[in-house]
Amino acid sequence: MKVCHFADLQGVLEGGQKTSVRQQRKALDISGVEYTTDPSEPHDVLHLNVLGPRCLYHLHRALKNGTPVVVHAHNSGEDFRQSFRLSNQLAPLVDRYMNVFYRKADRIVAPSEYTKDVLEGKSIDTPVEVVSNGVDTERLEGCDESREGEFTALNLGMRIERKGLSDFVETGRRSDIQFKWYGPELNRLVQARKARRTMEDSPENVSFPGYIEDVKDAFREADVFFFPTRHENQGIALLEAAYCGLPLVVRDISTYEGWLEHGENCLKADSLDGFIEHLERLEEDKELRERLGENAREMAEDHTLEKVGERLEGVYQEVEGG
């Protein structure tokens, strides 16, 4: 069995989707699955990621040739909102476009039970398999080294409103601790004006250093991972922070049900006051930081790339077997 693992828009791809594609391919390498990234090469299964226009062409070509198709559910209309300029207006069109792929595929791979529930709620009949985005443990080796310095709350990812940008800045405004958010710089043509103004008007204790190549360097600077995202399919940076043993402060959203437990491996809140209370409590209580961090690490170890590769191989075998 040979798989074509194809992702469109590779030259402009950023954020979690870029990381997910890279990690899937590494997971396939670990599991010994033969694959190509070139759809012109012979293959038995087509796995589509990042559903750009070329993916639509290859989808119809595969359907015509009788090649089984697996589609990765990175996006829906819901998580496109509050992201970029005009994203709210375009979200219904994005949703309809994505649903073309989801309805025509032989299998959908979703990164969480939450995403599976969202897709099934759209009356999409295609079977959905849950496969974590995973954690690249090799890439994070040494991320949990001890550090000294001012207590720092860290976030990683695209600086957009959906990720909780305004609440991140406002929490910092009401607190004396340090806040850092690493992430790629967005082109001003696509960046929402509100997001740009929010960052420009942030207080001195809130900084946006830009993109960081080696994420473990960012985790070494942090005492807590503060992830106030409003909508997420899973959250690769969240899993990475957990693997590095950082305590997690997250918004209380449906995505985390069943794997992030308040008081066990994270602290959840649904308001600015709640975020501030949790962060200040963690600043004062080293024992709580260590306990939550250890439990977060244990949770993240269920998401290794070895396990991701095994699950993907199983999906390919199912669709190829018909």
Query: What CATH number is associated with residue 121?
Result: 3.40.50.2000
Question: What is the average per-residue pLDDT within 157-161?
Answer: 88
Quote helix, strand, coil % in the chain, to nearest 5: 45, 15, 40
162 and 290 fall within a common domain: yes
175 and 312 fall within a common domain: no
165 and 220 fall within a common domain: yes
Nearest Cα residue to 266 out of 291, 285, 234, 284: 291
Mapping DSSP to helix (H, G, I), strand (E, B) and coil, where does residue 155 land? Answer: strand
Would 143 be classed as within a structural domain? no
Nearest Cα residue to 207 out of 257, 164, 168: 168
292 and 171 fall within a common domain: yes
Q: Choose from 26-35, 48-57, 145-154 the range with maximum mean pLDDT.
A: 26-35
Interstrand relation of 107-110 and 45-49 (parallel, antiparallel or unpaired): unpaired
pLDDT at 200 over 60: yes
- Which has more confidence, 303 or 162? 303
Q: Is the dihedral of CA 75, 301, 216, 312 positive or negative?
A: negative
Would 142 be classed as within a structural domain? no
Output the pTM of the full model: 0.91
- Which has more confidence, 146 or 31? 31
At residue 84, the pLDDT reads 52
50 and 116 fall within a common domain: yes
Question: What is the average per-residue pLDDT within 208-220?
Answer: 92
Nearest Cα residue to 29 out of 311, 305, 314: 305
167 and 280 fall within a common domain: yes
At residue 14, the pLDDT reads 57
CA pair distance 127, 277, nearest whole angstrom: 42
CA pair distance 221, 231, nearest whole angstrom: 26
89 and 220 fall within a common domain: no
Q: Distances in Å between the alpha carbon of 119 and those of 106, 126, 233, 241?
A: 14, 9, 11, 27
298 and 308 fall within a common domain: no
Provide the residue range defining the domain that includes 46.
2-134+304-320
At residue 86, the pLDDT reads 46
26 and 96 fall within a common domain: yes
Encode pLDDT of 268-314 as tens digits.
999 999 999 999 999 999 999 999 999 999 999 999 999 999 999 99
84 and 17 fall within a common domain: yes
Question: What is the average per-residue pLDDT within 75-94?
Answer: 58
Would 206 be classed as within a structural domain? yes
* Residue type, position 16, single letter: G
121 and 228 fall within a common domain: no
Confidence of residue 13 (pLDDT cuts 50, 70, 90): low
Interstrand relation of 107-110 and 224-227 (parallel, antiparallel or unpaired): unpaired
Would 146 be classed as within a structural domain? no
Q: Where are the alpha helices (DSSP H) in 129-208?
A: 165-173, 193-200
Would 147 be classed as within a structural domain? no
Encode pLDDT of 220-264 as tens digits.
999 999 999 998 999 999 999 999 999 999 999 999 999 999 999
Tell me how many domains the chain contains. Answer: 2
pLDDT at 213 over 70: yes
Share of the chain above pLDDT 90, in %: 73
Question: What is the average per-residue pLDDT within 82-95?
Answer: 59
Would 144 be classed as within a structural domain? no
